[in-house]
Structure 1
Amino acid sequence: MYYVNREQIMQRLAAIPETVDAFEHLSREWDGTLLQGLAQERALHLAIESVTDVGSCLIDGFLMRDASSYSDIIEIIRDEGVIGSDLAEPLLLLVALRRPLVQEYYAWRRRELHPLTARLGPLLVQFRDEVERYLEREL
């Protein structure tokens, strides 16, 4: 019997639409201001944390193998059939941004629109949908 903290997962998935809205707005209105750059950084960080928090909850709840890194979280939930490979690839690119955003923030190019920003809205919605389908299937 698994103990999956579904409430915690659903809280994190419920935060995704606001992050998606931020990505869509930034992509549509980008003019390279400092404020937009900082907003982009935060939206990317929230996307990373949302995906990895949900992945960690799934790994813990379904007793999947332990993750050794953020990218490993994505690989595990791909290997366990939570998400497809088509989604795992861009999510691996996303989680690779955590270190530059959190530890090397002084070198982040705030005035540039990151290429993932325009792509992440639909990918996060797909992530949410695939996690919800997995939960329905497995529980």
Structure 2
Amino acid sequence: MYYVNQEQIERRLDAVPDIVEGLKKSAQGWDGELILGMVQERALHLAIEVVTDIGSYLIDGFIMRDASSYEDILEITHEEKVFDDEVFAVLIQLVGLRKPIVQEYYTWDRSSLHALTPVLPDILNRFESQVRQYLKQELGH
């Protein structure tokens, strides 16, 4: 029997709509100014954290192999069919931004719209839906 912390997964899935809104507003209203640059940066950062937190909870709960990196979290959950290839391809690019955003924030270009910003809203919505479907399938409710 698995113990999957569904409450914590749900709390993170519930954050997806706000992150999606931040990404959409950043992309739609892009003006190259600092405020939207900061909104974009924070939305990308939150997207990374949501995706990797959920992946970690799934790995722990379903006793999947141990992850050694953020990329590995995504590879493991993708191998376990939590989400499809297209979602994986974008999310693996996303987690590659963690170090520049979190550790090298002083060099992050806030004056440019990042290529993932307009793409991520759809991908995050699909990720949310596919995670919920995976949980339903694996836990039977």
Same fold (TM over 0.5): yes
CA distance in 1, matches of 2:128, 2:97: 20
Question: Deviation at 1:129?
Answer: 0.3
- Report the AA paired with residue 10 of structure 1: E
What do residues 84-117 of structure 1 show as CA deviations (whole Å, max 9, x unaligned)? 1111011000000000001111111100000000
Which residue of structure 2 aligns with residue 88 of structure 1? 88
What do residues 41-95 of structure 1 show as CA deviations (whole Å, max 9, x unaligned)? 1000000000000000000000000000000000000001111111101100000
Matches within 5 A, 1:10-89: 10-89=10-89
CA distance in 2, matches of 1:8, 1:14: 10
> 5+ residue gaps in structure 1?
none
* Runs of 4+ off more than 6 Å: none
Q: How many residues were matched structurally?
A: 139
Which residue of structure 1 aligns with residue 128 of structure 2? 128
Question: Deviation at 1:40?
Answer: 0.8
CA distance in 1, matches of 2:29, 2:49: 24
CA distance in 2, matches of 1:86, 1:118: 15
Q: Secondary structure at the residue paired with 1:118?
A: coil
> Normalized against structure 2, the TM-score is what?
0.97
CA distance in 2, matches of 1:113, 1:66: 34
For the aligned residue pairs, the C-alpha RMSD in angstroms reads: 0.5
Matches within 5 A, 1:90-109: 90-109=90-109
CA distance in 1, matches of 2:21, 2:41: 14
> 5+ residue gaps in structure 2?
none
